[in-house]
Amino acid sequence: MHNAPAGYWSISTRCQQPYSAISAHDASFSAALLDAAVTAQVEQTRVLVVVYDRPLPAPLAAVRQIIAPFAIALLLSPWSGKDKLNTAKLTLRIESASSAAALAPTRLDNPALERLRCGNPAARSLPLLAALARQTSTTVLLPYLDAALLQLHIDV
């Protein structure tokens, strides 16, 4: 059950804040990031987005292989130029399947990281993490639902 970790966390910490549990196959990171970004803007509150995946047990591993465990957590907040915690401004846009046909998800130069990116849905976040680590403004394309892409413009 993909919502069990959030449920256990809220019970053990007595946290009464709402949470979303999203499962979207290879688009899970993009779907979770988009959901968290919209929530942060609409609710004008910080949102912790946590995405993880790990190798599946048999017989599921025969259907969907995940090559290694991977997890990411990002704290999103509504954009304010005054907030000292903001390290980058993200602008998100969905590229439809028809317009995305001429585009491709952002790849990584490091072969081991590229293999991980392709082999674990949560690791689809690696191009965003690499861009944030470089601390340069850029655009990253991530796989989204139905052959669409999620375009992230990162402004540092």
User: pLDDT digit string (tens) for 94-112?
Assistant: 999 888 778 999 999 999 9
What confidence tens digit (pLDDT) does each residue in 35-61 have? 999 999 999 999 999 999 999 999 989
CA distance 130 to 88: 13
- Extents of the domains making up the chain: 4-155
Alpha carbon of residue 33 to chain centroid: 5
**pTM of the entire structure?**
0.91
CA distance 10 to 33: 20
Spatial neighbors of 85 by CB under 8 A, at least 6 apart, are 75, 77
Alpha-helix runs per DSSP H in the chain: 4-13, 28-43, 60-63, 97-100, 111-119, 126-134
CA distance 74 to 35: 13
CA distance 152 to 30: 10
The average confidence (pLDDT) of the chain is 91
